[in-house]
Amino acid sequence: MTRWTGRCASRGLALLSLGIVLVIGGVGGALLLATRGTGAPAWIGWLLVVVAVVVGVAGYLLSSLVMRVEDDRVVVAYGPFGWPRRTLALADIREVSAGQIDPMEWGGWGYRWIPWARASAAVIRRGPGIVLGLEGGRRFAVTVDESRAGAVAIGEALEAARRR
């Protein structure tokens, strides 16, 4: 059963990826036009166009996320297809807190793994989020709207799981 669902979207990240697509795709298209009929290889132009498409799709897919608190786990999934996804068993969660997330404290924007800090994060904007203290001293942070309600839901799910 789903106890709570929170969402987060970053228009800034989506617009940034769109801008990168326009610049890289524009340069690639210009190279294709400039080399047309000259006998010069056009592979660099095509490569830039492909990179632009990949960046655009990745930026769109990673510019939103959903966090679900279920009876036995917490799931964080990116984009409209729910991939990539991170699933954490409630048994692995030791503590939960809600607060402000600064992307630079977690290695920047996107999905981050910070081995020297024993931490990882799903950060797509600065603002409210949830920080989970995990088994073995690891931490996981997620930017999500209504983070206080999410932290309460995780706390209640943890209590219910411990009573079972």
Among 3.40.50.10490, 2.102.10.10, 1.10.1740.10, 2.30.29.30, what is the CATH number of 2-7+65-163?
Answer: 2.30.29.30
CA-CA distance, 101 to 128, in Å (whole number)? 6
Rounded CA-CA distance 135/132 in Å is: 10
Evaluated on CA atoms 106, 110, 116, 118, the torsion sign reads positive
> ∠80-102-107 over CA atoms, to 5°?
80
Of 81, 84, 97, the C-alpha closest to 131 is 97
Confidence category of residue 131, pLDDT binned at 50, 70, 90: very high
**DSSP letter for each residue of 140-155:** EEEE-TTHHHHHHHHH
**Tens-digit pLDDT profile for residues 76-106:** 999 888 988 999 999 999 999 999 999 999 9
Q: Which two tokens stand for residue 71?
A: 């009876």
How is residue 14 written in tokens?
Answer: 């989506």
- The domain ranges of the chain are 2-7+65-163, 10-61
* pLDDT average, residue stretch 147-157: 96
Confidence class of residue 130 from pLDDT cuts 50, 70 and 90?
very high
pLDDT at 164 over 90: no
Nearest 5°: the CA angle 82, 84, 86 is: 95
State yes or no: pLDDT of 127 exceeds 90: yes
pLDDT of 12: 86
Res 110: pLDDT: 86
The pLDDT tens digits for 24-64 are 999 999 999 998 888 888 888 999 999 999 998 888 888 99
Overall pTM surpassing 0.85 (yes/no): no
Strand positions, DSSP E, 22-92: 64-70, 73-78, 85-89
